[in-house]
Amino acid sequence: MANNNSKLKVALPQISPVWLDRDKTLAKVIKTIEDAAKSNAELIVFGEGLVPGYPFWPDLTGGAKFNNAKQKELFAHYADQAVTIEDGHLEGVCEALKKSKMACYLGIIERPRQRSGHSLYASFVYIDPVGTIQSVHRKLQPTYEERLVWSPGDGAGLVTHRLGAFTLGGLNCWENWMPLSRAALYAQAEDLHVACWPGSLRNTVDITPFLAKEGRSYCISVSSLMRPSDVPDDTPFSNEIKDLMPEVAADGGSCIAAPDGSWVLEPVTHEEGLRFAELDPKLIRQERHNFDAAGHYSRPDVTQLTVNRQRQSIARFEDE
């Protein structure tokens, strides 16, 4: 049984993808896991859609043009480089985590066979310390231009996971602004919230301490970096994308806030690297003394939330 006073060592990498190259980005993820293992980290978290990268091109190249040859080619390339879990694309990551006895949240662009094998989802994958994928949360509502390439997810991944003395949950990017999605995790005893972002201080600096204080939980915001130099030359329309992309498309801003909203690790921008923190579960119990959103301060007799956690599909088969 877990010791309720056992601290958790967290690794917070802020890295860039090898943009739209699944295998090379996965190799970078595995190397980062191996580096974190040298410092005996027990949990490592990666940014939204890190593998194979965030879709920066719709905003740069007229992504809303319907039936456009350029947009079709870019989407096809993106889909080709996306992660299909059923095909074993994450096996190397799972093996590295098992070897390191480390848990992980990893942001991927998922191309699941269960949903035709061609539509894409921004998914947040939790892998436990024995290398087993325990949940895949598909982003419920892609934001603005993301809807041109990502599909809306479902509630199947709105679950929490026990790790040592902590109960973990995670959401993608602006999902973290959705009160009912947060409430669904609070209701499952979440006390360590992982928010993944494509990379922006303007997102993480305000919401991270806010979510920590609202949930009386630790809140980790993990972001990536992205610069024109991260676009490989063999990417379709790479020269155009590099010319149109700002000098810094994603500046990071990864950070950790304590249950009282104070900084454990302050946001860092423009720097690629790996930082660590030890989280003390005792601080959660101290802050829950006067407010517990899903416990003594809740009124389930007045307000309740219903969550549909069925994995969505267009067909249900009844075989004899």
Residues labelled as active-site residues = 48, 139, 173
Task: Give whole-number Cα distances, 108 to 119, 159, 311, in Å.
Answer: 13, 17, 18
The torsion angle over the Cα atoms of residues 100, 101, 107 and 111, rounded to 10 degrees, is 90
Cα 203 from Cα 174, distance rounded (Å): 9
What angle, 0 to 180 degrees and rounded to 10, lies between the N-to-C axes of helices 22-37 and 91-100? 0
Whether residue 84 contacts residue 113, with contact meaning beta carbons closer than 8 Å, is answered with yes
Distance, in Å, from the CA atom of 307 to the CA atom of 319, rounded to the nearest integer, reads 28
- 84, 234 Cβ separation under 8 angstroms: no
Tell me the angle at which helices 201-215 and 179-186 cross, rounded to the nearest 10 degrees.
40
Q: What angle do CA 142, 16, 276 make, to 5 degrees?
A: 100
**Using an 8 Å Cβ cutoff, are 146 and 177 in contact?**
no
Antiparallel, parallel or unpaired: β 218-222 and 250-257: antiparallel
Half-sphere exposure of 92 (CA within 13 A, CB side): 15
Q: CA distances (Å), 268 to each of 56, 67, 246, 263, 271, in order?
A: 21, 40, 19, 12, 7
